[in-house]
Every structure is written in C-alpha cells, then in structure tokens.
C-alpha cells in the first residue's frame, strides 16, 4: 500500500466516522430490554474458544459455477483435514483468510467479539472439532476450535457496557446502510 493510498483510506474513514456521528448515531438507541435479551441469549456462560480458520474466497460478482467451484475446493480441504492432514499446514498453503502463515490461528474469542455467523459456528463446535465449509460473506470458511475455556457467567452489570456497545454498533451499521440506501434512491450517490 502506498502512502497516498493510506492517506486516502484514512480520509474516507474519518469522513465515514463523521457522517455516522452526525447522521446515524442520533437515530440509534439500545433499550434496556434489548440488553437483557442479548445477555440472556449470549451470556449464560462466558466461554472462550480458540479458533483456527481456513478461508477460500469467492471472486466478486462470481457466477453460480464459480461459487460451486470454490465450495468444492473447500470440501476437498475439509476432507484432507479429516483424513489426517495438518490443519495449520493446509492453512499456510491454501487459506486466503486472516493469518495463513500462522496456520490460520485467530486466537481466543468471547461471545460478541466476532462476526455473528462465525460466532454461531465456532461456539457450536466442541474442542478439536472441525466445521463443514460454511459460506459467510464472500468466502467459504472451515473453522476449527482447538480449545475451549469454561468460565462462570458474568452478572449483567459487569457486561452491560460491553453489550450496549455491541448492540449499538450493530444498530448503527444497519442505520448507516439505510441512510446510504436512501441517498442512492434519491439519486444523491
């Protein structure tokens, strides 16, 4: 990445943050009921999972044939791991996701710290378990939980601020998307 590209990206990020601050945040609120509901659904245990990931990207504007080709490739990788090949070594050679050179190791995660779809997959796996290839976003992912740490659930007052932040950010992203959609419909973008 060039210095000019970095400057351009930073200007765009600042502009987006300012728009969110002015146009989006005033329209977003998180109720106490929302916080309680999220707590009840996600904080009955404060487990953490150690995750490794192999990702195979689907090209932008891919045809169904291209998507199927990537899915079949992901299934082949999945079968190789089940057949005894080392997950980390395969991640180094085939993964297009984060940290391939580190064997796809993403580290430890608590609930609410990762993409909700990825979280559902990861927290649904047992220690050492491997997920089937799952399409999330623009890639097929194979998730492995290498270890799980069980912890006693935290009380709502201890995690209220964290939950509020999670819910607020999700709502703000949705509101931002609506705002951009409205601008496009009106022909401003």
Cα of 80 vs its chain's centroid, Å:
25
161, containing H or E segment: helix 156-185
**pLDDT for residue 177:** 80
**pLDDT for residue 22:** 80
**pLDDT for residue 80:** 94
Across the beta sheet with 134-136, the strand order is 105-110, 48-57, 139-149, 134-136
- Contact between 138 and 58 under an 8 Å Cβ cutoff? The reply is yes
From first to last of its 189 residues, the chain has per-residue pLDDT tens of: 688 888 887 888 888 778 777 877 787 888 999 999 988 887 766 688 999 999 999 888 888 899 999 999 999 999 999 999 999 999 999 999 888 899 999 999 887 788 888 888 998 888 889 999 999 888 999 999 999 888 777 788 988 998 998 898 888 888 888 887 887 888 765
**pLDDT for residue 138:** 86
**pLDDT for residue 1:** 64
**pLDDT for residue 32:** 92
User: Which of 169, 153, 152, 150 has its CA nearest to residue 161?
Assistant: 169
**pLDDT for residue 189:** 57
Contacts (Cβ under 8 Å, ≥6 apart) of 30: 164, 167, 168, 171
**pLDDT for residue 51:** 93
């Amino acid at each position: 990445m060039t210095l000019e590209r970095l400057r351009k990206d930073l200007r765009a990020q600042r502009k987006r943050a300012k728009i969110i601050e002015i146009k989006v945040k005033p329209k977003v609120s998180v109720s106490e009921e929302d916080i309680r509901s999220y707590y009840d659904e996600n904080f009955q245990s404060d487990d953490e999972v150690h995750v490794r990931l192999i990702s195979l990207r689907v090209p932008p504007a891919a045809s169904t044939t291209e998507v199927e080709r990537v899915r079949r490739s992901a299934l082949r990788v999945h079968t190789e791991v089940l057949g005894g090949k080392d997950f980390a070594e395969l991640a180094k050679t085939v993964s297009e996701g984060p940290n391939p050179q580190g064997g796809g190791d993403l580290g430890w995660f608590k609930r609410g710290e990762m993409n909700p779809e990825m979280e559902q997959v990861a927290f649904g796996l047992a220690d050492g378990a491997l997920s089937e290839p799952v399409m999330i976003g623009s890639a097929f992912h194979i998730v492995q939980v290498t270890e799980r740490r069980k912890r006693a659930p935290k009380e709502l007052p201890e995690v209220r601020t964290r939950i509020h932040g999670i819910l607020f950010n999700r709502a703000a992203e949705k509101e931002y998307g609506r705002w951009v959609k409205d601008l496009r419909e009106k022909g401003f973008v």
